[in-house]
Amino acid sequence: MQESDTIQPLTWHEHIYRGENRLRVALVGQHNSGKSTIFHAVASTSYRTGKLTGTHKPYAECPVQIGADEVHLVDLPDLQSLRDLQGDDLEALKYLLWGDARPLISRHERSEPPAPFSRPDVLVYVIDASSLQQSLELALELPELGLPVVIALNMMDEAHRKGVEIDKDLLSEKLGVPVIPTVALKGHGLTELFQQILKTGRKPVCPLPQPASPHIQAWAKKLHEAIDQPEINEAFAMPGSMLTMNLLEKDAYFLSEFESHFPETLPAIRALHSEADKTLPRPLTDEVHADRHHRSVVLFEDVARLVHKPKISWEDRLDMLFLHPSWGLIGSLSVFAAVLFMVFEVSTALDAMSAARLADMVSGWQPDTATGVIGRAVVDGLIGLIGIVVPYMLPLVLMLVALEESGIMHRIAFVVDRFFHAIGLHGKVAVPFLLGLGCNVPAIAATKGLSSGRDRVVSSLLITFVPCSARSAIVLALGAKYLGVMGVFLLFTLSLLVIAILGRLLSHRYPEISPGMIQEIPAYGWPKMQPLLSSTWSRTRDILTIVTPLLVGGSVILALLQFAGADQIINTALAPVTVWALGLPAVLGVPILFGVLRKELSLVMIYQALGTFEVGQVLDSIQITTFLVFLLFYIPCVSTFAVMLKVIGRKEAFFSIALSIGVALIVALITRFFLTGMHGLT
């Protein structure tokens, strides 16, 4: 995600909703209209659930960040109507009316208020656009609650498929509320929806209740006059027009409360009911129902029309691939395959043409003076740099930027969001994780685009466990030869497992839950050359300045150590790890240490240290597995460390080193003892 996408222009004279000041927004609507889908599309990784007092159906609640503002979003159980409700539905209505307070008429019911939080500031009425007609009756009723309403005209894709065309502007004008079309399942329209919610919250205007037909209005007016008394208004603490309509429709709950609290007024109401029943062509309740139904049908006919053969655009077709709840995974997997192809075909070829060729050219230079050794080490460091930048960083960052510019990346992030939620992260980290398969350096750099500091740290820490192409190369070279396809597969599965477990553990270390976010789904577009190149350059430029000195410096130090004959010392110093813990020959100490420069160096050095290309003659399969497991997880290379210093700071970068060494040791030890145990059994 580009920074420009997350930063909203701020106007400071406007009220900012944050912390305790958050706007409370409730999602209401009929069963299966998409309330929970909207909620989960923007929810944070962890949200609160509970039950409204005396109900069985759960609500969910969490803060959501919208630019500089935050709202408290509440996903409520379904609500079919405001009239004649019973059981859970009635309790939901009580929450909408009274929030965390009990008015006089409801004090006797239970000690706890309807909900532990206040009544909403803004109502979002989620409508299934593909069956608009059924939703319009409630749309006519909702304004009676006296709350600002925004309509989310959801399932527009379904409506389109069924050939239902809706004039949303006319609908908005007729109902007096803003109407935003959405496809919650694909994240379309959610940004606009939440911007509108904020706008409505800032200038709250409650829509006027839709007037009933004149013959009903006349009775409503009479009834209103009978009950319009200050003590009644105070006791019910609800808009007078709603109480009037509820009593007119003989709503059981409100009538019974009226009976127990204002028995002296009840006879007047009853008299009015029977008079109306006699005068009107049908009983009053039926007449009011029929009138509302009629008005909703007229409204539907005004705003909607059926078209035959709806046109499906190529964007819709692409969205089926990228945003469909199950097909969408195929789209993401194909991008995953493209990244792998990039790494194993393009990057390897580029590497062979650039860094590998340069390394070949200098391989004959074997200096025997300290200055020569330093010179050679500097050259090695620079070649290492070219080996990271040319084959991996530039193509991968270029690909990342192209994915962002085309709008594909936002879709992948949207689809895989719920998987990442399981390890406490947001879907936006998906693409950095993918890039990590090529090289951890651009992957960690890409986490800079995440707006939450906590997510940046946690995903950077986890990305170091994604096997980059250098590590995969060693696993493939040694594993495929000595452990077989199954062995290699298990090693990669182990990486996935370690990342998942660590993700959960790290959630405890960084318990702060970042608020939910709206994932913007921009329109598709061809990436343009100029922004593509400049964006790629601006992302690689500052990494270069920080990676270069560390890579060259590290290379010089290690070369000097080797020149001074410190190999022996290094091997002895590392013996507790190599020999005691991992059960490997001491000579593997140097390759392990040098691996921090660039992991593929390890492979060459393993051959040198063991004195043979036939590793299987020196190490048994348990040793090879243990060694590979250790190599997979231990310290990220020095370039990764450098980029971490820049992205997550020194403290976390050092923590990452400690974490990777710790994890590598623990997992390698477990592997070793597990395999030895298995071996003993057979």
Ligand X SMILES: Nc1nc2c(ncn2[C@@H]2O[C@H](COP(=O)(O)OP(=O)(O)OP(=O)(O)O)[C@@H](O)[C@H]2O)c(=O)[nH]1
Q: What is the DSSP string of 472-528?
A: HHHIIIIIHHHTHHHHHHHHHHHHHHHHHHHHHHHHHHS-PPPPEE----PPP-PPP
What's the rounded Cα separation, in Å, for the pair 260 and 557?
Answer: 88
Please indicate if the annotation marks 33 as binding a ligand: yes
Shortest distance in whole angstroms from residue 498 CB to Mg ion: 35
Shortest distance in whole angstroms from residue 429 CB to ligand X: 23
What's the rounded Cα separation, in Å, for the pair 444 and 646?
Answer: 10
**Other C-beta atoms lying within 10 Å of the C-beta of residue 49:** 10
Shortest distance in whole angstroms from residue 69 CB to ligand X: 24
Residues 13-42 that bind Mg ion (CB under 5 A): 35-36
Return the structure tokens found at 630.
Answer: 């250790």
Q: Containing H/E element for 530?
A: helix 529-563
Output b/e per residue, 634-665; b: 16+ Cβ within 10 A.
bbbbbbbbbbbbbbbeeebbebbbebbeebbb
Residue whose CB is less far from Mg ion, 37 or 660:
37
Please indicate if the annotation marks 451 as binding a ligand: no
What's the rounded Cα separation, in Å, for the pair 71 and 94?
Answer: 22
Binding residues for ligand X, rule: CB under 6 A, are 29, 31-37, 78, 154-155, 157-158, 183-185
Residue whose CB is less far from ligand X, 88 or 277:
88
Residues 33-92 that bind Mg ion (CB under 5 A): 35-36
Q: What is the DSSP string of 557-593?
A: HHHHHHHTTTHHHHHHHHHIIIIIIT---GGGHHHHH
Residue whose CB is less far from ligand X, 164 or 462:
164
Is 631 exposed, middle or buried (CB count within 10 Å of its CB: 0-12, 13-18, 19+)?
A: buried
Rounding to the nearest 10 degrees, give the CA dihedral for residues 601, 434, 315, 151.
-160
Contacts of 139 (CB under 8 A, 6+ apart): 125, 127, 151, 175, 296
Residue 316 interacts with, from Mg ion, ligand X, none (CB under 5-8 Å by kind) = none
Contacts of 418 (CB under 8 A, 6+ apart): 40, 427
Triad 434, 436, 442: Cα angle to 5°? 110
Residue whose CB is less far from Mg ion, 32 or 274:
32
Shortest distance in whole angstroms from residue 36 CB to Mg ion: 3
Residue 106 interacts with, from Mg ion, ligand X, none (CB under 5-8 Å by kind) = none
Shortest distance in whole angstroms from residue 423 CB to ligand X: 23
Residue whose CB is less far from Mg ion, 52 or 638:
52
Shortest distance in whole angstroms from residue 386 CB to Mg ion: 54
Residue whose CB is less far from ligand X, 6 or 133:
133
Please indicate if the annotation marks 155 as binding a ligand: yes
Residue entry with tokens 């996408």? 5
Residue whose CB is less far from ligand X, 29 or 432:
29
Please indicate if the annotation marks 30 as binding a ligand: yes
Residue 282 interacts with, from Mg ion, ligand X, none (CB under 5-8 Å by kind) = none
Residue 459 interacts with, from Mg ion, ligand X, none (CB under 5-8 Å by kind) = none
**Other C-beta atoms lying within 10 Å of the C-beta of residue 489:** 12
Compose the 251-290 pattern: x for residues touching Mg ion by CB under 5 A, - for all others: ----------------------------------------
Shortest distance in whole angstroms from residue 504 CB to ligand X: 26
Please indicate if the annotation marks 32 as binding a ligand: yes
Residue whose CB is less far from Mg ion, 36 or 246:
36
Residue 31 interacts with, from Mg ion, ligand X, none (CB under 5-8 Å by kind) = ligand X
Shortest distance in whole angstroms from residue 413 CB to ligand X: 18
What's the rounded Cα separation, in Å, for the pair 115 and 181?
Answer: 30
Residue whose CB is less far from ligand X, 155 or 403:
155
Residue whose CB is less far from ligand X, 4 or 326:
326
Please indicate if the annotation marks 221 as binding a ligand: no
Q: Determine the residue with CB nearest Mg ion.
A: 36
Please indicate if the annotation marks 157 as binding a ligand: yes
Please indicate if the annotation marks 29 as binding a ligand: yes
Return the structure tokens found at 264.
Answer: 């002296």
Please indicate if the annotation marks 448 as binding a ligand: no
Rounding to the nearest 10 degrees, give the CA dihedral for residues 148, 154, 156, 161.
-140
Shortest distance in whole angstroms from residue 137 CB to Mg ion: 20
What's the rounded Cα separation, in Å, for the pair 242 and 480?
Answer: 73
Please indicate if the annotation marks 35 as binding a ligand: yes
Are the CB atoms for 628 and 479 separated by under 8 Å? yes
Residue 180 interacts with, from ligand X, Mg ion, none (CB under 5-8 Å by kind) = none
Shortest distance in whole angstroms from residue 90 CB to Mg ion: 18
Q: Containing H/E element for 651?
A: helix 638-681
What are the angstrom distances between the C-alpha of 194 and each of 2, 39, 64, 448? Answer: 20, 11, 10, 25
Residue 468 interacts with, from ligand X, Mg ion, none (CB under 5-8 Å by kind) = none
Count residues near Mg ion (CB under 5 A).
Answer: 2
Q: Binding site, residues? A: 29-36, 41, 154-157
Q: Binding site for GTP, residues? A: 29-36, 154-157
Binding site for Mg ion (CB under 5 A): 35-36
Q: Binding site for Mg(2+), residues? A: 41
